[in-house]
Amino acid sequence: MLIPIQITPKAETEIKDIMANKNIPAGYFLRVGVKGGGCGGMSYALGFDKAKPEDQQFEINGIPVLIEKKHYMFLMGMQIDFFEGDEARGFTFINPDIPKRHDQ
pLDDT at 95 over 60: yes
Q: Residue 56: inside a domain, yes or no? A: yes
Q: How confident is the model at residue 103 (pLDDT cuts 50, 70, 90)?
A: very low
CA dist 77 and 6 (Å) reads 7
pLDDT at 104 over 70: no
CA dist 77 and 75 (Å) reads 6
* CATH number of the CATH domain containing 15: 2.60.300.12
Q: Residue 100: inside a domain, yes or no? A: no
Choose among 84, 86, 65, 68: nearest CA to 16: 65
Q: How confident is the model at residue 79 (pLDDT cuts 50, 70, 90)?
A: very high
Q: Residue 99: inside a domain, yes or no? A: no
User: What is the number of domains present in the chain?
Assistant: 1
Q: Domain limits at 88? A: 6-36+44-94
Q: What is the pLDDT of residue 28?
A: 96
Q: Residue 27: inside a domain, yes or no? A: yes
